[in-house]
Amino acid sequence: MRVNGAEVEAAVDPRTSLLDLLRETLGLSGTKKGCDQGACGACTVLADGERILSCLALAVQYAGREITTVEGLAGPDGPHPLQRAFIDHDGFQCGYCTPGHLCSAVGMAAEAARGVPSYVTADLTADRVVLDRDEIRERMSGNLCRCGAHNGIVAAIAATYAAGPGERA
């Protein structure tokens, strides 16, 4: 598989989750483990641009796929605009949920750009979804934050994707 643009080769126990492969085998501890049960979103990464819960993914199933983690979000000219926005809007306190939030938001913006509706979307047939605060709050509800940085997180996502959903994803 490719992780953050680099080819990786690893012999893994078939029981190993993608999350543990990243954290333990590859030493990419930026992706967090909050529950290992699919309930918190801390382990969210992008697989070929789609957000997935890496704790619920077996590593062996992702052979040949392109995985992006928080360590891979930054571009050649520095952090991703969303990463900057999280700092500007104080979108975290302890920072433990943050990598999952960041990857999730990038994937979420791409979903909105494709017109994938959510529970709060009024027009289910629209080509594009405008990411207003309610859309963001609904679509990010799978990412828990116990420090209570919700307002800052939503503000950071809104500031980043207000210009157009998915533009920077």
Tell me which stretch binds other proteins (CB under 8 A): 24-32, 60-68, 123-131, 159-167. Answer: 24-32
In this structure, the dihedral spanned by the alpha carbons of residues 42, 22, 7 and 13, taken in order and rounded to 10 degrees, is -130
Q: For other proteins, which residue of 44, 54, 68, 69 counts as binding (CB under 8 A)?
A: 69
Give the helix/strand (H/E) hosting 108.
helix 98-113
> Minimal CA–CA distance to 115: which of 149, 165, 156?
165
154 near other proteins, rule: CB under 8 A:
yes
CB 73 within 8 A of CB 80: yes
Tell me which stretch binds other proteins (CB under 8 A): 46-54, 81-89, 121-129, 160-168. Answer: 81-89
How crowded is residue 155: how many other Cβ atoms within 10 Å of its Cβ? Answer: 19
CB of residue 58 vs other proteins: minimum separation in angstroms? Answer: 11
117 near other proteins, rule: CB under 8 A:
no
CB of residue 126 vs other proteins: minimum separation in angstroms? Answer: 20
Enumerate residues 52-111 that contact ligand FES by CB under 6 A: 53, 55, 92-98
152 binds, among ligand FES, other proteins, none (CB under 5 to 8 A by kind): other proteins
Contacts of 101 (CB under 8 A, 6+ apart): 41, 44, 86, 91, 92, 140, 143, 145, 153
137 near ligand FES, rule: CB under 6 A:
no
Q: For other proteins, which residue of 35, 116, 126, 162 counts as binding (CB under 8 A)?
A: 35
In this structure, the dihedral spanned by the alpha carbons of residues 102, 73, 164 and 92, taken in order and rounded to 10 degrees, is 30
Catalog residues that contact ligand FES under the rule CB under 6 A: 33-36, 38-43, 53, 55, 92-98, 145-147, 149
